[in-house]
Structure 1
Amino acid sequence: MTAYTTNPELDLVLERTVDVAPELVWKCWTTPELIVRWFAPKPWSTSSCEIDLQPGGRFHTVMRSPEGEEFPSDGCILVVEEGSTLVFTSALGPGFRPQVAEDGFPFTAVVRIAPDGAGTRYTATAIHADASARKQHEDMGFTEGWGAALDQLVDVAKSL
């Protein structure tokens, strides 16, 4: 993957070491049946997921609120480096087709997975076009939400 420099004015980063093997973290990120078990922070849930794990492929999830309202999100996978890097964006739909993001601001997610002792160094970065989109995502609870989802991912990985 081409290197990029994180910009703290535009990007949000969640970095943590977790006590599960990298291959299990990767499996949880790339298997739709597993994503629905951890992707939305409780009490929210993920009612469905579709992944075509290749550049240009679809990354689609539907989150469900505690009240039962559904929020679909459709995106495009940009990079797949087996076992280490997954990059997807809400700015594009399948086949790299530009689209208007459902959540009001497009962003690109970069998920990096690396061995760290007996566990995994996990880094998730949300890249935004401007500071207002970054702030909106932060105000929505990026750190808490993505952190809670990672905790749920770890629980799912430990159950495999």
Structure 2
Amino acid sequence: MNPDLDLTLQRTIRAPRAAVWAAWTDPDRFAKWFIPAPMVCRVDRLEARPGGALVTRMSEDGVAFVPHVDAIFLVVDDPERIVFTNAIDSAWRPALPAPVPMTAEIVLADHPEGTDYRVVVRHGDPSAREQHEKLGFFEGWGLVTTQLAQSVE
């Protein structure tokens, strides 16, 4: 972890690791928590394997959906670790995603109270990290982590 380039979040989720893993890898479960409510998430593709696509759309009204994430999975180590990036899109083309390119690593470990949930979001330079933080990384990722926990606890 490089504090100049990375943003992190850690929580204890009071549910078995298998339940948290399923929430990350099952499209129907994923759609229930991945975007801060009251926004609605639609999963177009969730192929939880290295090189697989992660494509979502979002909606304020549940009717009109706009692009949200177009990414690929780099690492999928069941049931411990998921790494994805939006710097390469689901067609395996280099991308310049808005608001910032990033690589996210999610690590799950057993914890006496459930699951130790850790996120590291890596950025290519300090300005991208700073921009992501200013845009609300802690609030946004914190809220979806709370929603994830509520969906599995």
TM-score (norm 1): 0.87
User: What does residue 108 of structure 1 align with?
Assistant: 103
Alpha carbons 2:74, 2:84 under 8 Å: kept = yes
Residue 31 of structure 2 aligns to a residue in which SS?
helix
User: What does residue 73 of structure 1 align with?
Assistant: 69
Alpha carbons 1:22, 1:115 under 8 Å: kept = yes
User: What does residue 3 of structure 1 align with?
Assistant: none
The counterpart of 1:122, out of the listed 77, 102, 117, is 117
How many residue pairs match? The answer is 152
Amino acid at match of 1:127: R
User: What does residue 10 of structure 1 align with?
Assistant: 5
How many angstroms does 1:98 deviate by?
1.7
Provide closer, same or farther for how the CA distance between residues 115 and 107 of structure 1 changes in structure 2, counting only shifts above 3 A: same
The counterpart of 2:52, out of the listed 46, 54, 57, is 57
Q: Deviations over 1:88-147 (max 9, x none)?
A: 00001236432222x132100000000011311000111000111111111111111111
Cα RMSD of the aligned pairs, angstroms, is 1.7
Would you say 1:19 and 2:17 are equivalent positions? no
How many angstroms does 1:71 deviate by?
3.2
Alpha carbons 2:14, 2:113 under 8 Å: kept = yes
Structure 1 alignment gaps of length 5 or more: 1-5
Greater shift, 80-89 or 14-23, is seen at 14-23
State how 1:129-148 maps to structure 2 within 5 Å: 129-148=124-143
State how 1:32-51 maps to structure 2 within 5 Å: 32-51=27-46
